[in-house]
Amino acid sequence: METVAVENPYGLAAALEQGGIIAQSVFAILVIMSLGSWFIIITKFIDQRKVMTEAGELEKKFWTASDLKAGAAKLEKNSPFRQIVDDALRASDHHEGRLTDKIDQHEWVTMALNRSTSAVTSKLQGGLAFLASVGSTSPFIGLFGTVVGIYRALINIGLAGQASIDKVAGPVGEALIMTALGLAVAVPAVLGYNWLIRRNKEVVEKLNNFSADVHGALVSGARIATPVAAPAAAKPAAR
């Protein structure tokens, strides 16, 4: 016996068709917001993981070099750590002129490192404002579609003179779908925002520590936060 597939009259496609331009516009906006959120979450995670990986390799690649310039040459050109080193070296080499001769070289290098670290941090935080906006506005956009669907259901009830299920099932289903879509867009955006913010704190901490080490190596010739050496074996007490 041949089975005939029956199209669902209360599915997403039917809801968009019956809802008209308003339901279709709400759906399109939510889809764009969702795609943008996932794009930012994935790309920022890749950027953060790259910085964390480079931070773990600094001891082998950078701090084993003879000087800061040689260490910077071992880092990738687009590395944020190399950007910090290059800015520090440039500030140290060009501490001259009428404006900078009144500033101590120590303070001048510190200012350059702070600006460089802030620029890298700002780049890592790019796109997070979009995630926050999506997380806070997408439920209300979905709610707008919900209100329109309920309004259409009330109109059908008024025209029919009775609240029959066949008159209200379509608009009410459309309203519930819009509510679900708004939540489906908002929840990943909020979770992704909080997750990326927490990871950014770890990345910024590593950048600040590296900046302090570069400053110490450039100004005094020694790192500020040197690796902790293994404790030496205790000698037996003399009798």
Q: Report pLDDT digits (tens) over 41-60.
A: 999 999 899 888 888 888 78
Domain annotation covers residue 148: no
Range of the domain at 38: 25-141+187-219
Domain annotation covers residue 85: yes
Separation of alpha carbons 49 and 89, rounded Å: 26
HSE on the CB side for 66, CA within 13 Å? Answer: 1
Domain annotation covers residue 176: no
End-to-end Cα, the chain, rounded Å: 101
Domain annotation covers residue 233: no
Domain annotation covers residue 149: no
The first and second tokens of residue 172, run together, are 């009410």
Domain annotation covers residue 237: no
Domain annotation covers residue 203: yes
- In terms of Cα–Cα distance, which of 117, 118, 133 is closest to 192? 133
- Residue 6 binned pLDDT confidence (cut-offs 50, 70, 90): very low
132: CB partners within 8 A, 6+ apart: 189, 193
- Tokens 């259409």 found at: 152
- Residue 198 binned pLDDT confidence (cut-offs 50, 70, 90): very high
Domain annotation covers residue 93: yes
Chain mean position to CA 195: 8
Separation of alpha carbons 57 and 230, rounded Å: 20
Are 17 and 167 in contact by the 8 Å Cβ rule? The answer is no
* Residue 40: predicted pLDDT: 94
Number of compact structural domains in the chain: 1
Per-residue pLDDT of 70-122, as tens digits, reads 888 888 888 888 888 888 888 777 655 555 455 666 777 778 888 888 888 88
161 φψ region: left (φ > 0), alpha (ψ -120 to 50), beta (else): left
